[in-house]
Amino acid sequence: MVFRMQSPAALAAIYRSMGRKVTPQRQLLFQLMHENDCHPTAEALFAEASAQMPGISLRTVYQTLNELAEMGELQFIDIGGGPTRFDPNLDDHHHVVCIDCGQIRDVQVSGAAALHPSGAEDFVINEVGVVFQGVCSSCEKSRAKSGRSVRAKSPALQAKVSK
């Protein structure tokens, strides 16, 4: 059972049934997000959209993405401080990020749902997110070439205080 954002046609129907209008801008963005699996930023979508519809506004891209998120048709992903990325994959899944090129890939993590935090017994937990940081094969090659290996986590002094 794989859950994704609805098809453009289905979304059009949903929009109409909610009294919202099905504009060309929205339809285009429905297409661009549907089946999109690269977790694009608003700017990236804006660039793609502009190619097919010169004059479309970045504001409209943000608005539509926010709408879809409110409707539960896509998710926001915030990783590492960069711009928000959008995900039409509504399944229970997680992400790997390449610390070199920034690409984000979907991954399944068996056992993630079973994770439990120690030290937050007074919280009602709602959901869990797992993010792996690493280097993709393509970037790994570039690294090999330029000699630099996967960087140590703490390049600084090693003497740590044990407490």
Partner DNA sequence: TTCTTGTTAGCACGAATTGCAGATTAGGAG
Partner DNA sequence: CTCCTAATCTGCAATTCGTGCTAACAAGAA
Q: Binders of DNA among 24-63, rule CB under 7 A?
A: 24-26, 41-43, 53, 55-60, 62-63
Q: Which residues contact 75 (CB under 8 A, 6 or more apart)?
A: 69, 86, 87, 89, 90
Q: Which stretch binds DNA (CB under 7 A): 77-85, 102-110, 116-124, 142-150?
A: 77-85
8 A C-beta contact, residue 74 and residue 80: no
What span, in angstroms and rounded, lies between the C-alpha atoms of 162 and 116? Answer: 26
Copy the structure tokens of residue 65: 């993405």
Count other Cβ atoms within 10 Å, centred on residue 72. 10
Instruction: Report how many residues bind Mn ion under the rule CB under 5 A.
Output: 3
Which residue, among 28, 143, 44, has the nearest Cα to 87 in the 3D structure?
A: 44
Count other Cβ atoms within 10 Å, centred on residue 155. 7
Which residue, 53 or 128, is less far from Mn ion as judged by CB? 128
Smallest gap from Cβ 160 to DNA, in A, equals 22
Binding mask 2-21 for DNA (x = CB under 7 A): -------------xx--xxx
Residues that bind a second copy (CB under 8 A): 1-4, 6-7, 10, 14, 70-73, 76, 78-81, 84, 90, 94, 96, 98-99, 105-112, 114-120, 122-137, 140, 150, 153-157, 160-163
3-state secondary structure of 75: strand
Which residue, 45 or 135, is less far from DNA as judged by CB? 45
The one among 26, 65, 89, 98 contacting Mn ion by CB under 5 A: 89
8 A C-beta contact, residue 128 and residue 92: no
Q: Which stretch binds Mn ion (CB under 5 A): 1-9, 59-67, 98-106, 138-146?
A: 98-106
Site of interaction with DNA (CB under 7 A): 15-16, 19-26, 41-43, 53, 55-60, 62-64, 66, 81-84
